[in-house]
A and B are shown apart, each in its own frame.
Chain A
Amino acid sequence: MSRSMTGARMVVEALRDQGVDTVFGYPGGAVLPIYDEIFQQNDITHVLVRHEQGAVHMAEGYARSTGKPGVVLVTSGPGATNAVTGLTDALLDSIPLVVLSGQVPTFLIGTDGFQEADTVGITRPCTKHNWLVKDPAKLAETIHKGFHVATSGRPGPVLIDIPKDVQFATADYVGPKQIEPAKYQPARKGDIAAITRLVELIEQAERPILYTGGGVINSGPAASQLLRELADATGIPVTSTLMGLGAYPASGKNWIGMLGMHGLYEANLAMHDCDLMINLGARFDDRITGRIADFSPGSVKAHVDIDPSSINKVIRVDIPILGDVGHVLEDLLKVWKSRGRKVNTPALGKWWEKIEGWKSKNCLFFRNSDKIIKPQHAMQRLEALTKGHDRYITTEVGQHQMWAAQYLGFDEPNRWMTSGGLGTMGYGLPASIGVQMAHPEALVINVAGDASWLMNMQEMGTAVQFRLPVKQFILNNERLGMVRQWQQLLHGERYSQSWSDSLPDFVKLAEAFGCKGAQVRDPGDLDAAIQQMIDYDGPFILDVLVEKHENCFPMIPSGKPHNEMLLGEAETQGVIESQGAVLV
């Protein structure tokens, strides 16, 4: 049965058929027909944002916290260009998004028409794929394809550019089941011979480590479950990248903490000294490896990844396994069990002793104060007071982001949303709104820095309008803290442009937006302030005045290997040489 309808109606129909319940967007001339259709239906909620960048980060928050693709609708020209940062963010962090943009009518394309931009050209390098749909008969099919591409293989953002005349034109609608199967079908099962080889190594390894990344979370809850089963059954220690936090529980007995530039001492030293490194869905990012030449020099490396281009890109591995982490883990466990569940128990015991030795350094130690709130202390108190809640955390970018990663514990996947690959200041507030849309009853907290938070603060309006009780926990150091830290360590303490002058009064700002705010500066009042934030039934901004010059440790300075971590202020003198200074 063919159903004839306008392109604009097809958009809504296709979204409905794809199970979409929420769209984040902003109207404009080139998408008015689609907005007209949105007006005339009730299945899909449209969240009106305040800036298109906000829409994309909200969709990212929605997607990461649900595992479903996030959907965005923007107009042509400035609407589309405002979406570019979010698209790039989603591309680097492998977040499935479907972004629909309006375009000038086909007959005006190329004439520099009003609000015309070469959207597919601009977004080609920052999407997994994109399409300009010129034929209304292809529109529905393209949207279905878009969802397929965004969610299969390594997930990522796609963009579909829809000229206004195509939205008005009529054609037959095709449903997701009526289109021919897509040619794009990344392999999911890993090579069983390679998996078996890895099992043999697990059986013998003296110092194995599981190095897990965002791929475990993207693979779905089953992968996290299988990771737990593997780690707990074999006794192999687990570390994770920033993106993978929560795949293995922070309270689990094999957890040794996050690794990387601001990762834990024990995690980085275990990576450096291991003899078998099992990378599950991580990508040897430069924040993780430090100096490549000295990266885990004595280990055999296995790498499970769904993206062939991630394998051997930065670090040469010995056992590449191309496939979905969940599928590979399932096979791996099967093979390991069938061969008698063997591990090198005596060696593992010694390995754990060594790790416990590193742990006893207590690398997250900081000198607390009863006069001023230390940011690390604020994180510890936030953790303590929110632990039992159905909690989701988003962050902005900077020191506070690293402190959040270090001091908050995640026991489940999809609970931690942060901009890892692109490091986008301004991500956290809109992301928290996207998460709250998907989980209306949950406690959603954005751990923010004062500077980052200002970048998309207009979205407080969205939170208020949609009654989304997001909590903005601002660690206010009146500095661009992370920049200041680098200037202290690398640029002779010349603090060029790294302080936040003329900050708004966040409490008044909250009131101006129609929500509630509070400020806290005395450590003795911190708990009560956090509790007030949690208990308040609506969006809340907590301005936490913290120590202004605290540095984030541990730290592997740029260009240094894992075993040359700085643990505190005393070790920072002249640590970064000019070679390292050119790195970011």
Chain B
Amino acid sequence: MNALNIQKGMSSHSAYDLRDPNAEIVESHTLAVLVENEPGVLARVIGLFSGRGYNIDSLTVAEVDHTGHQSRITVVTSGTPAVIEQIKAQLGRIVPVHEVHDLTVEGPSVERELGLFKVRGQGDKRVEALRIAEIFRANVVDSTLESFVFELVGTPSKLDAFADLMRPLGLADLARTGVAALARGA
């Protein structure tokens, strides 16, 4: 089409260009955002997502370096490749954001979430709930004669699967932390 004969998408500055830039496929990405722990910083990040119409599928935040005043926000978001690139660039513009890592493309990473599951039941159902909890290596952190609270750590899909199994057995309440994630390796 043009006389200049250059490859489209030949930028060196992002891994985005390794993938099909025009893909309309919605992908899920886990972003680690290292921020200055100052008042309002979480509001800025969340406000960016709502203001520009991006999705938040999961969000966790906590201070990770007290002396360095750093917090780590882990956001699981979804969008087309172009939207994901915009999200990262927009996050990077926020003044107290120091680093943005896309754990989904930067290499292998581990993702973990903690869930608390309250299951009410008696008789066979109660026994079955306990048996499945053992298979999942969930811990019992509270128990009464007609209920358990299980604590389970794992990938979000493992927690989903556990919740699905517990539902017919009397799942009464559920709390999940959202995803925390780190890159694998040294």
Residues of A within 8 A of B (CB): 120-121, 124-125, 128-129, 132, 149, 154, 183-184, 191, 193-194, 197, 201, 204-206, 275-276, 297-300, 307-309, 311-313, 316-320, 322
List, sorted by A's number, 16 A–B pairs whose CB atoms are closer than 8 Å. A124-B44, A129-B95, A132-B40, A184-B95, A191-B13, A193-B12, A201-B4, A299-B2, A308-B93, A312-B16, A312-B86, A313-B89, A316-B21, A318-B6, A319-B11, A320-B11
Residues in B neighbouring A201, C-beta threshold 8 A = 4, 6
Chain A to chain B: the 8 pairs with minimum beta-carbon distance, closest first: A309-B89, A129-B95, A308-B89, A320-B11, A275-B2, A309-B90, A300-B4, A184-B95
* B92 interface contact, C-beta 8 A: yes
Assembly CA distance A154 to B95 (angstroms): 11
Residues in A neighbouring B1, C-beta threshold 8 A = 297-298
Q: Which residue from chain A places its CB closest to the CB of B81 in the assembled complex?
A: A312
Known: A120-B40, A317-B11. 5 other contacts (CB 8 A): A154-B93, A312-B82, A313-B89, A316-B8, A318-B10
Give chain A nearest CB distance to B94 CB in angstroms. Answer: 8
Residues in B neighbouring A193, C-beta threshold 8 A = 12
* B43 interface contact, C-beta 8 A: yes
Give chain A nearest CB distance to B47 CB in angstroms. Answer: 6
Give chain B nearest CB distance to A135 CB in angstroms. Answer: 11
Q: Which of B10, B47, B86, B95 has the most chain A CB atoms closer than 10 A to its own CB?
A: B95
Given A312-B82, A318-B10, verify A125-B47 contact (CB < 8 Å): yes
Q: Which residue from chain A places its CB closest to the CB of B98 in the assembled complex?
A: A183
Residues in B neighbouring A120, C-beta threshold 8 A = 40
Given A120-B40, A125-B51, A201-B4, verify A309-B12 contact (CB < 8 Å): no
Cross-interface CB contact of B10 among A121, A204, A312, A319, cutoff 8 Å: A319
* B108 interface contact, C-beta 8 A: no
Residues in B neighbouring A149, C-beta threshold 8 A = 95
Q: Are A309 and B86 in touch, CB under 8 angstroms? A: yes
* B3 interface contact, C-beta 8 A: yes
Cross-interface CB contact of B9 among A132, A204, A318, cutoff 8 Å: A318
Q: Are B95 and A316 in touch, CB under 8 angstroms? A: no
Assembly CA distance A84 to B126 (angstroms): 59
Q: Which of B2, B12, B90 has the most chain A CB atoms closer than 10 A to its own CB?
A: B2
Residues in A neighbouring B85, C-beta threshold 8 A = 312
Q: Which residue from chain B places its CB closest to the CB of A347 in the assembled complex?
A: B3
Give chain A nearest CB distance to B37 CB in angstroms. Answer: 13
Residues in A neighbouring B90, C-beta threshold 8 A = 309
Q: Are A275 and B3 in touch, CB under 8 angstroms? A: yes
Q: Are A318 and B8 in touch, CB under 8 angstroms? A: yes
Residues in B neighbouring A184, C-beta threshold 8 A = 95
* B39 interface contact, C-beta 8 A: yes
Cross-interface CB contact of A124 among B13, B47, B82, B93, cutoff 8 Å: B47
* B151 interface contact, C-beta 8 A: no
* B113 interface contact, C-beta 8 A: no
Cross-interface CB contact of A313 among B43, B86, B96, cutoff 8 Å: B86
Assembly CA distance A322 to B92 (angstroms): 13
* B36 interface contact, C-beta 8 A: yes
Assembly CA distance A536 to B40 (angstroms): 51
Residues in B neighbouring A197, C-beta threshold 8 A = 6, 10
Residues in B neighbouring A154, C-beta threshold 8 A = 93
Assembly CA distance A191 to B14 (angstroms): 13
Q: Which of B4, B6, B82, B93 has the most chain A CB atoms closer than 10 A to its own CB?
A: B4
Residues in A neighbouring B92, C-beta threshold 8 A = 308-309
Given A125-B51, A194-B12, A322-B13, verify A307-B6 contact (CB < 8 Å): no
Chain B 54-88, CB-CB to A under 8 Å as 1, else 0, gives: 00000000000000000000000000001001100
Q: Which residue from chain A places its CB closest to the CB of B87 in the assembled complex?
A: A309
Residues in A neighbouring B86, C-beta threshold 8 A = 309, 312-313
Q: Which residue from chain A places its CB closest to the CB of B22 in the assembled complex?
A: A316
Assembly CA distance A298 to B11 (angstroms): 19
Assembly CA distance A576 to B110 (angstroms): 52
Assembly CA distance A128 to B97 (angstroms): 13
Residues in B neighbouring A309, C-beta threshold 8 A = 86, 89-90, 92-93
Q: Which residue from chain B places its CB closest to the CB of A204 in the assembled complex?
A: B4
Given A124-B43, A125-B51, verify A276-B4 contact (CB < 8 Å): yes
Q: Which residue from chain A places its CB closest to the CB of B93 in the assembled complex?
A: A309
Q: Which residue from chain B places its CB closest to the CB of A148 in the assembled complex?
A: B95
Assembly CA distance A482 to B107 (angstroms): 53
Residues in A neighbouring B9, C-beta threshold 8 A = 316, 318
Cross-interface CB contact of B36 among A183, A312, A313, cutoff 8 Å: A183
Assembly CA distance A251 to B167 (angstroms): 75
Assembly CA distance A120 to B92 (angstroms): 20
Residues in A neighbouring B12, C-beta threshold 8 A = 191, 193-194
Give chain A nearest CB distance to B166 CB in angstroms. Answer: 40
Give chain B nearest CB distance to A127 CB in angstroms. Answer: 10
Chain B 119-139, CB-CB to A under 8 Å as 1, else 0, gives: 000000000000000000000
Cross-interface CB contact of B11 among A183, A194, A206, A300, cutoff 8 Å: A194
Give chain A nearest CB distance to B15 CB in angstroms. Answer: 13
Q: Are A300 and B95 in touch, CB under 8 angstroms? A: no
Residues in B neighbouring A313, C-beta threshold 8 A = 86, 89
Assembly CA distance A525 to B2 (angstroms): 54
Residues in B neighbouring A129, C-beta threshold 8 A = 94-96
Q: Are B43 and A121 in touch, CB under 8 angstroms? A: yes
Assembly CA distance A120 to B41 (angstroms): 11
Assembly CA distance A206 to B8 (angstroms): 18
Residues in A neighbouring B44, C-beta threshold 8 A = 124
Q: Are B13 and A275 in touch, CB under 8 angstroms? A: no
Assembly CA distance A149 to B95 (angstroms): 8
Q: Are B89 and A204 in touch, CB under 8 angstroms? A: no
Q: Which residue from chain B places its CB closest to the CB of A158 in the assembled complex?
A: B95
Q: Which residue from chain B places its CB closest to the CB of A206 in the assembled complex?
A: B3
Residues in A neighbouring B36, C-beta threshold 8 A = 183
Assembly CA distance A204 to B4 (angstroms): 7
Give chain B nearest CB distance to A255 CB in angstroms. Answer: 24
Q: Which of B40, B51, B90 has the most chain A CB atoms closer than 10 A to its own CB?
A: B40
Residues in B neighbouring A307, C-beta threshold 8 A = 93
